[in-house]
Copies of this chain bind each other. A is one copy, B any other.
Amino acid sequence: MAQYRIGEFSKITGLTVKTLRFYDEQGVLKPSCVDPENGYRYYDAELLTRARAITLLRSLEFSLTEITDLLNRSDEESFDVLDILRNQQDAIRLQIARYQRIDAKLCQLFEEEQETRQMAKHETFAVEEKTVESQLVAGIRMKGRYSDCGEPFARIGKSLGRYINGKPLLLHYDMEYREDDADFEACMPVSKSIEVEGIDIRELPAGRCVSLLHRGPYEELRTSYAKAFDYVQQKGFEIQIPSREVFLKGPGMIFRGNPKKYLTEIQLFIVE
C-alpha cells in the first residue's frame, strides 16, 4: 500500500500542507497513520478519494463540520444525497438572491446619482415656476435649530428605511427664514404607509410653486431664499406655509461630499 508523506499528498490533492494539517486537527481528513517517533503524517491512496470528496464539497460551499458529518453518515440507510444537494442549493440560492438585492440597490443609487448630476450641470440657477406632484411622506415635526434635523431624519430612516423612495425634505412652518427656534418638519418620501410612534405619515399635497436650485453649503441658503422671495414679491404671489426645501445632494445622502457641491431646491408654494 502506497503511503504518501504530507508533501506528496499535498501535491496530488492540491490541498496545501497547512490545510492538510488543519483538516487532521479538525477530524475531517485524518492521515492513515502517524509515526509516533517524529509525528510525521502518512496518507494512503484510499484517502485520496476522501480528499477529492472534501475538495468537491468545499467548492459547493459546505462547511467543514457539514462535510465531516456527511462523510461519516454517508453509509447510513437514511442518508439521502438528493436531500442534501437540495438543501445546499436552497442555501446557495438565498445567497444569490441576497447579492442580487445588493446589486439592484447599487443600480438604484447609481441612477439617482446620475440624475442629480444632470440637474447640477448648470453654472447658475434661475428662479422658475413649476408644478409638484403629491407624494406620500413620513415626517417628524420639531422646533429648534436646523442643524438638529439629523436626528429626526435618522429616526425616520431607521423605522422606514426600507420604504424610502426619494430625496429628504424639510418643511418650514415659519413665514421667514429663521436660524434658531425654527418650526420645521423633517420628511422622507416613502412608498408605504406604516404606523410608527412619533412619525406622521401623510400625503403631501400637489401644487404650484416657485422653485430655485441652490448649490453650496447650507449657510449660504439665505441668499437663495432672498432671490426666491424677491421673485415672489415681484410677481405679487401669496405664499403658503409650509415651504419646502429638498436636499437633492447633501451630507445626509451617503457621503459628506464637498459642501460646495451640495444641491438644495427651495420650493415656495403659491396660493391660487
29 A-B pairs within 8 Å (CB atoms) are namely A1-B148, A2-B148, A12-B155, A12-B158, A13-B158, A14-B158, A45-B151, A46-B147, A46-B150, A49-B150, A52-B157, A56-B254, A57-B254, A60-B102, A61-B102, A75-B256, A76-B258, A79-B257, A81-B254, A81-B257, A82-B113, A85-B106, A85-B110, A85-B113, A89-B103, A89-B110, A92-B99, A92-B102, A96-B96
CA gap between A56 and B46 in the complex, in Å? 50
Q: Is the CB of B92 within 8 A of A52?
A: no
Choice from B12, B70, B71, B154 contacting A154 with Cβ under 8 Å:
B12
Q: Could you say which residues of chain B place their CB within 8 Å of the CB of A235?
A: none
Q: Is the CB of B77 within 8 A of A258?
A: yes
CB-nearest residue of chain B relative to A258?
Answer: B75
Q: Could you say which residues of chain B place their CB within 8 Å of the CB of A154?
A: 12-13, 45, 48-49, 51-52
Q: Could you say which residues of chain B place their CB within 8 Å of the CB of A79?
A: 255, 257-258
CB-nearest residue of chain B relative to A15?
Answer: B158
Which of A2-27 touch B at CB < 8 Å? 2, 12-14
Which of A225-256 touch B at CB < 8 Å? 251-252, 254-256
Q: Could you say which residues of chain B place their CB within 8 Å of the CB of A151?
A: 2, 12, 45, 48
Contact with B along A105-121 (1 / 0, CB 8 A): 11101100110000000
Would you list the 7 A-B pairs with minimal beta carbon distance, nearest first? A74-B255, A48-B154, A45-B151, A45-B150, A89-B106, A96-B99, A48-B150
- Most B CB atoms within 10 A — which of A57, A100, A259? A100
Choice from B45, B57, B107 contacting A89 with Cβ under 8 Å:
B107
Q: Could you say which residues of chain B place their CB within 8 Å of the CB of A53?
A: 254-255
Choice from B61, B85, B110, B153 contacting A86 with Cβ under 8 Å:
B110
State the copy count for this chain. Answer: 2
Q: Is A192 an interface residue (CB 8 A)?
A: no
Q: Is A95 an interface residue (CB 8 A)?
A: yes
Q: Is A193 an interface residue (CB 8 A)?
A: no
Q: Could you say which residues of chain B place their CB within 8 Å of the CB of A103?
A: 89, 92-93, 96
CA gap between A77 and B95 in the complex, in Å? 36
Q: Is A32 an interface residue (CB 8 A)?
A: no
Q: Is the CB of B88 within 8 A of A106?
A: yes
Q: Is A59 an interface residue (CB 8 A)?
A: yes
CA gap between A158 and B254 in the complex, in Å? 47
Q: Could you say which residues of chain B place their CB within 8 Å of the CB of A147?
A: 45-46
CA gap between A76 and B93 in the complex, in Å? 39
Q: Is the CB of A257 within 8 A of B13?
A: no
